[in-house]
Structures are given as C-alpha cells and as structure tokens.
Amino acid sequence: MKHTLPIAAVACLWLAACSPAAPEGDAATSDVVPTVEATTAAAPEPVPNHDDWIGRWVGVEGLFADIQPVGDGTYQIEMQSDLNTRATYTGTSTAEGIAFERDGETLTLRATDGAGTGLKWLDGKQDCLVVQPGEGFCRD
C-alpha cells in the first residue's frame, strides 16, 4: 500500500494540470468581447422648422398674417384674422404647422394652396397658409 499515496498524488496533479484554470480577476476576462444592449429610449423628436414661413402673408380685404421667429421652434404671429380682430400670438412648431392659442382655443396654421383656404379670391395661388376654412393667407 506504500505506492497508493504517491499514485493518488500524481493523479491529482495530472488532473489539475489538464483542467482549465479558474479565471482570476480582470485579466481572465480581457478576451471577452463586450456586448452592447439595445436601449428602448428613443431620441427626442427634432423640432420642426417653419422658417420658410417667415414674413407677411396676405388674405382678402386687408387680412394678413406676419410670422417672425422667436427661437427654438417658436414664432410670433401678428394676425388680422377678420375685419375686427388684430392680435399677436405666440406659436409653436408642430409636425402639422404652427400651433397657437386664440380665445382659449388651440388652432394650427397649416400649409395649403389657394383652394385649400376656402376663399375663392385666393383660388389658383400655390403658396398659402390656412387656420380654418375661410381664414387663409397667401404669398403674392
């Protein structure tokens, strides 16, 4: 039985030498390629730009809309919307146009053509804006 102990010891050494080494700290993981997980947070939507609408737009019977930039998707709209109503509004760019509040109602100034204004005097024009049917303005 004298040889049993040394044979067992040799067998243990041999098994230890043949088995993979246990990882040690960061050095053992240096060959691992990191993975990037997809994030579900979407990038913020860019602010629509309506700077091509800057300037004066003319309606019928002296009505007009004058749009000036304030910055960061905000515009000042001076508007003669009917014969008795002239006011200045602050508008914000949206995907649909420039939204503004008038008399507690949120309205949107949108791009259209003369026919889309609902005003026969503007029919045939191509570059127009409309708030609602019958309230439109075009470039000359």
Q: Is the pTM of this model over 0.75?
A: no
**Looking at residue 32, what is its pLDDT?**
59
Higher pLDDT, 76 or 44: 76
pLDDT digits (tens, 9 = 90+) for 11-65: 444 455 555 555 555 554 556 565 555 556 666 667 678 999 999 999 999 999 9
**How would you write the chain as a 3-class SS string?**
CCCHHHHHHHHHHHHHHHCCCCCCCCHHHCCCCCCCCCCCCCCCCCCCCCHHHCEEEECCCCCEEEEEEEECCEEEEEEEEECCEEEEEEEEECCCCEEEEECCEEEEEEEECCHHHCCHHHCCCCCEEEEECCEEEECC
pLDDT digits (tens, 9 = 90+) for 92-127: 999 999 999 999 999 999 999 999 999 999 999 999
